Structure 1
Amino acid sequence: MTNFVLVAGAWLGSWAWSDVLPGLRAAGHTAHPLTLSGLADRQGVRAGQQTHVDDIVGHVERLDLRDVVLVGHSYAGIPVGQAAERIGDRLARAVFVDSSVPADGESFVSGWPEGRAQVEAAIAANDGFWPALTAADYAGQELGDEETARIVAGATPHPGATLTEPAVLRGSLGELSATYVKCLLDGPEPGPDVAALLKGERWDLVTMETGHWPMFSRPDELARVLLDAAGAGR
Structure 2
Amino acid sequence: MTNFVLVAGAWLGSWAWNDVLPDLRADGHAVHPLTLSGLADKQGVAAGQQTHVEDIVDYVERLDLHDVVLVGHSYSGIPAGQAAERIGDRLARVVFVDSNVPADGESFVSGWPEGRPRIEAAIAANDGFWPPPTAADFAGQGLGDEEIARIVAGAAPHPGATLTEPAVLRGPLGSLPATYIKCLLDGAEPSGDVAALLKGDRWELVTMETGHWPMFSRPRELARVLLDAAGTGR
Instruction: Provide Cα deviations, 1:143-173, integer angstroms capped at 9, x if missing partner.
Output: 0000000000000000000000000001000
Give the structure 1 partner of residue 65 of structure 2.
Answer: 65
Partner of 2:87 in structure 1?
Answer: 87
Q: Which runs of 5+ in 1 are unaligned?
A: none
The CA distance in 2 between the partners of 1:212 and 1:44, in whole Å, is 27
Aligned residue in 1 for 2:153: 153
Say which SS state the counterpart of residue 223 (structure 1) adopts: helix
**Are 2:176 and 1:176 aligned?**
yes
Number of the residue aligned with 1:24: 24
Matched, 1:231 2:231: yes
Percent identity between matched residues is 85
Q: Name the TM-score, length of structure 2 as normaliser.
A: 0.99
**Residue aligning to 1:39:** 39
How far apart are residue 127 of structure 1 and its match? Answer: 0.1
**The residue matched to 1:181 in structure 2 has which SS?**
strand
Cα drift, residue 103 of structure 1: 0.2
Q: Output one character per residue of 1:69-127: Cα deviation in whole Å (capped at 9) or x when no partner.
A: 00000000000000000000000000000000000000000000000000000000000
Taking the aligned partners of 1:171 and 1:35, their CA distance within structure 2 comes to 26
- Give the TM-score normalised by structure 1: 0.99
Q: Deviations over 1:191-225 (max 9, x none)?
A: 00000000000000000000000000000000000
Alignment partners' CA distance in 2, 1:218 and 1:23: 12
Amino acid at match of 1:118: R
In structure 2, C-alpha distance between the alignment counterparts of 1:198 and 1:142, rounded to whole Å: 26
SS of the counterpart of 1:92? strand
Aligned-partner SS, 2:231: helix
List gaps (5 residues or longer) in structure 2.
Answer: none
User: In structure 2, what is the Cα distance between the partners aligned to 1:34 and 1:174?
Assistant: 25
Matched residue type, 1:153: A
Partner of 1:186: 186
Secondary structure of the residue that 1:122 maps to in structure 2? helix
Offset at 1:46? 0.1
| Count of residues in Structure 1 that have an aligned counterpart in Structure 2 | 232
Q: Does 1:164 align with 2:164?
A: yes
User: How far is 1:35 from its partner?
Assistant: 0.2
Corresponding residue for residue 206 of structure 2: 206
State the alpha-carbon separation in 2 of the partners of residues 222 and 42 from structure 1.
26
1:78 paired residue number: 78
